[in-house]
Amino acid sequence: MTDNPPFKQLLKVPVIVAALGYLVDMYDLFLFNIVRVPSLKALGLSSDELFSKGLLILDMQMAGMLIGGILWGILGDKKGRLSVLFGSILLYSLANIANGFVTSYDQYLPLRFIAGIGLAGELGAGITLVAEILPKEIRGWGTTLVATTGVFGAILAYFVASAFDWRISYFVGGALGLILLLMRVRVFESGVFLHLKHKNVQRGNFFMLFSSGARFSKYLYSILIGTPIWFVSGVLIFFSPEFGAALGVTEPIEAGKAVMLAFAGQVAGDLVSGYLSQRFKSRKKGMLIFLLGSYTFMLVYLLVNTTSLPTFYFFCAALGFFNGYWTLFITIAAELFGTNLRATVATTVPNFVRASVIPISALFVFAKAHFGLTLGAAMVGGFIVAIALWALSRLEETFHKELDYHEEDALDPSLVLPEVGNPDSLTRKN
């Protein structure tokens, strides 16, 4: 245990900056979800185009995050966690300011792509930095603090967008990011990374993730366990007006309010999942509870007909609560891999999950055409959760894992397998 009180450890400047950085990241990431309808209408799109062209913009943003995740992840392992933390903030801040000046759909589309590239780096770099500078006994609380603070960004986006024009909302997000850069003065780099930096070790080699079957498998499983989160956010909540109408809600549903309530629920979910992880001393048990709860409320949301607007909004908040295992999902990804690939993994994994909304939305559109809006979504959700549960069962427990190691160790002939059937858990012979 550390000599410093755990609470004091959590208030280290890098932890606070990572948390505030993720707050601004989430603000900008979900702002389009909130202002989709008013911004596209202001640009002259018809009501019939709000779904199809809004979905294309979302897909472009997520494609940018997929590409950005790889680029920022490699940079984080080669140059350091801080280079990504600050570089990503600068790029998405400038891009979001530019979003406030768009005058046509054709301008909006590429600018959301560029913003997506910038938004891709913040979370992975922040989680990696926090996980490496905190003792293992409390690093779960540190990543919970980052994720919980970040979720408030989506809530803030709703209130700003409700109070101001959609263009002003983009300007506010960009300004918040630029202000955050001024806090970088006292932030220090991860000691684990600095220790590795002086060794003759490959760092940030993305293709190493595919050079070993065991390494690729746990990378793939790390992605699959997070996909239900983005089915909820990218489909169920994003298209809440359409789902509410199909379910018989008699009053108009505000997409922005649905997003805000879902993320208000996720704040509570992040705290509870983080507590369960610490209480059980297990990342996997907490995640299992939340995955099962998520699918339960998917079915409630999609199959329970209601004319009550407050009831529908409650279902949105409940779905958000069970999306609160986002903290555990990112923490597991960071803990599963060595220091020379940790930023690459922690940055690419959440962005592959975010980008999964592209094939998920395509699958949803297919299921919708054949089975209807709500039943099709329920079937897609069940399929995605089933895959996530299978992937979770294949991963090792990482709660007590030491993080000061690098992936080349896995190629060392002096390594042995301590458990039959668990090829990812490698330790040195004494």
| Domains of the chain from N-terminus onward | 9-184+206-425 (1.20.1250.20)
Residue (of 320, 321, 325) closest to 262 by Cα position = 320
Neighbours of 214 (CB within 10 A): 14
Separation in Å, CA 383 to CA 107, 115, 424: 36, 31, 26
Are residues 33 and 255 in contact, defined by beta-carbon separation less than 8 angstroms?
yes
Q: Quickly tell me which residue has 């939305």 as its tokens.
A: 361
Neighbours of 10 (CB within 10 A): 18
pLDDT of residue 1: 42
Which amino acid appears at position 348 of this protein?
T
428 phi, psi to nearest 5 deg: -80, 150
pLDDT of residue 4: 53
Are residues 177 and 171 in contact, defined by beta-carbon separation less than 8 angstroms?
no
- Residues 6+ away with beta carbon under 8 Å from 167: 100, 101
Residue (of 395, 401, 412) closest to 215 by Cα position = 395
Extract the residue ranges of the chain whose pLDDT is less than 50: 1-3, 410-430
**Own/partner pairs, 274-281, CB within 8 angstroms, 24+ separation:** 274/140, 274/141, 274/143, 274/144, 274/147, 274/148, 274/327, 274/328, 275/144, 277/140, 277/144, 277/327, 277/328, 277/331, 277/399, 278/140, 278/141, 281/399, 281/400
* Whole-number Å distance between alpha carbons of 343 and 348: 8
Separation in Å, CA 353 to CA 135, 263, 312, 376, 418: 28, 17, 26, 21, 31
Neighbours of 275 (CB within 10 A): 14
The helix (run of H) or strand (run of E) holding residue 224 is helix 213-224
- CA triplet 390, 337, 128: central angle to 5 degrees? 110
- Residues 6+ away with beta carbon under 8 Å from 189: 80, 81, 82, 129
Are residues 22 and 153 in contact, defined by beta-carbon separation less than 8 angstroms?
yes
Are residues 378 and 232 in contact, defined by beta-carbon separation less than 8 angstroms?
no
* Whole-number Å distance between alpha carbons of 262 and 232: 9
Dihedral angle sign, alpha carbons of residues 267, 273, 274, 279: positive
pLDDT of residue 288: 93
Dihedral angle sign, alpha carbons of residues 326, 124, 72, 341: negative
Are residues 302 and 377 in contact, defined by beta-carbon separation less than 8 angstroms?
yes
pLDDT of residue 387: 96
pLDDT of residue 292: 95
